[in-house]
Amino acid sequence: MTTIRRVLVSVSNKHGLADFIRMLASKGAEILSTGGTAKVLREAGIAVTDVSTYTGSPEIMDGRVKTLHPRVHGGILMRELDEDRTALASIGGAPIDLVVVNLYPFEETLRRAGASHEDLVEKVDIGGPAMVRAAAKNHARVAVVVDPADYAKVQAEIAADGVVSHATRVALAAKAFSHTAAYDGAIAGYLSSLADDGGRDRFPRSLHLGFERAYSLRYGENPHQQGAFYRERGAIEGTLGRAESLGSGGKELSFNNLVDVDAALEAVREHDVPAAVVVKHCNPCGVAVGATLEASYRAAREADPVSAFGGIVALNDVVDEATAKALAETFLEVVAAPGFSDEALAVLRARKNLRLLSLGRWLPADHRATAMKHVSGGLLVQDRDATAKGEVRKGRVVTSRAPTEEELRALTFAWAVCKHVKSNAIVLARGEEGVLRTVGVGAGQMSRVISVDIAARKAGDLAAGSVLASDAFFPFPDGLERAAEAGVRAVAQPGGSVRDEEVIAAANRADIAMVFTAVRHFRH
């Protein structure tokens, strides 16, 4: 356990810095600092020694070189050995016991609209990572702090004992190496994306992902599997990585809860009017849009009330009291929304073990992102499926009868839902009393005709007069014929089967209007 005699401070994120360093100075520590950090500390009334004074070498090249000096790195890397003390003293250096460094904001600059390549290159930190890695390597003697969130813990230990414990130094070192690894990964990914590959592939040649553990889960997919949720570095508001839990305690979120919430959010983002999605086992079992959020939720729940029990609900607007009361009528696992009114929270927090997730900012359906899926020994990467809007209305009517305007509205809705149902996917929907809602969903079947059967069976009498969306083409007329038997009046599907003409003929015989969108929406 080492007494903190000398501290090296150089940070881009100055949140909470002055109070932390003031405490260290009050304990007699000498403070070494550079540039803007030194200026901020002096303005806070803290005595600071410039690194250039300590090294005897001025900063050069507009600060590009300031800490790359043997007195700095010797002071950090010195072990508690006589030969190391002698070597450091021979160059006029002194031991550095605490390094407080965070890096130039490369990732923040990368996310900023209009940032130039030159801007990004200047945000590639050199001296910072070198100091962080040196301090983390020498954690047997040196403590390194890269995250302002750790100031309080380090301050508490120093205030109590005058030292930073070995366990804390190890934990800080691990965090420091994670920090520099993710930082270098972001830079490598950016530069790889600039490499000329003839326009064949926009994805980088190497992929370096930065995630940090947000919290442990009750378990994984099953109780015998452990689980944890890792937040993506730089996760934006509106994603699960930035969601705020507003529940009243009770059970923690599970692995399956989060997978289902993500599926529900993806589905509800498709709609610009008040919408509700109820998900069970990753599939929407009820979706509706209406004039109010309450009306939408009630219609979505009634689309499949049996499956809605114990389901996950996502809503695309702030939950009000009326909607909250409707939600409270059924046992639900999680409700996710952009936010909740105070009145809604009062209602929902009274429900035992109901988890509430507030997303804050609402992401539109067409937001661009990269989707990844882990497979044995590798990672599959693709663009997020950000299309669906307008595809039905832009599609080609292939039957003798064209859809009516009412059928087009229902087809557009059903098509947006179908995109989020596991393949083979069939969705039956209809409009009634100012609400568009699903009436039957057939999901995840090995045969498309079986998905039609399931959707029709769930819809019951409501199948008559409904519309149907299919995520991929009908390979045979049998699926279309089953839909006709159930009373379906209009169909949206991609088309593209070698038997399209047979399917079109079956639709014409049943007086069904059919639109080919020429876009497939498989979801595996």
Cis peptide before 424 (omega within 30 of 0): yes
> What residues contact 365, with CB distance under 8 A and at least 6 apart?
269, 270, 271, 386, 388, 389, 416
Q: What share of the chain is helix, strand, coil (3-state, %, to 5)?
A: 40, 20, 40
Q: Any idea of the CA torsion for 470, 476, 477, 481, to the nearest 10 degrees?
A: -60
What is the full DSSP assignment across 206-240?
S----EEEEEE-S-SSSTTS--EEEEETTPPTTSG
Catalytic residue among 14, 27, 166, 281: 281
C-alpha angle 42-48-52 in degrees, rounded to nearest 5:
115
Q: Taking Cα atoms as reference points, which of 308, 279, 273 lies closest to residue 292?
A: 273
Q: Is 281 a catalytic residue?
A: yes
What are the helix (H) ranges across 138-194? 151-161, 166-194
Pairing of strands 283-289, 275-280: antiparallel
Q: Is 39 a catalytic residue?
A: no
Catalytic residue among 14, 27, 137, 325: 137
Q: Taking Cα atoms as reference points, which of 15, 17, 7 lies closest to residue 44?
A: 17
DSSP bridge pairs for 230 = 213
Owner of token pair 């899926």: 373
DSSP bridge pairs for 6 = 30
What is the full DSSP assignment across 351-412?
STT-EEEE--SPPPTT---EEEEEETTEEEEEE-----TTTTTTSEE-SSSPPPHHHHHHHH
CB 508 within 8 A of CB 398: no
Q: Any idea of the CA torsion for 179, 181, 184, 190, to the nearest 10 degrees?
A: -100
Q: For 286, how many CA atoms within 13 A lie in the half-sphere containing its CB?
A: 24
Active site residues: 137, 281
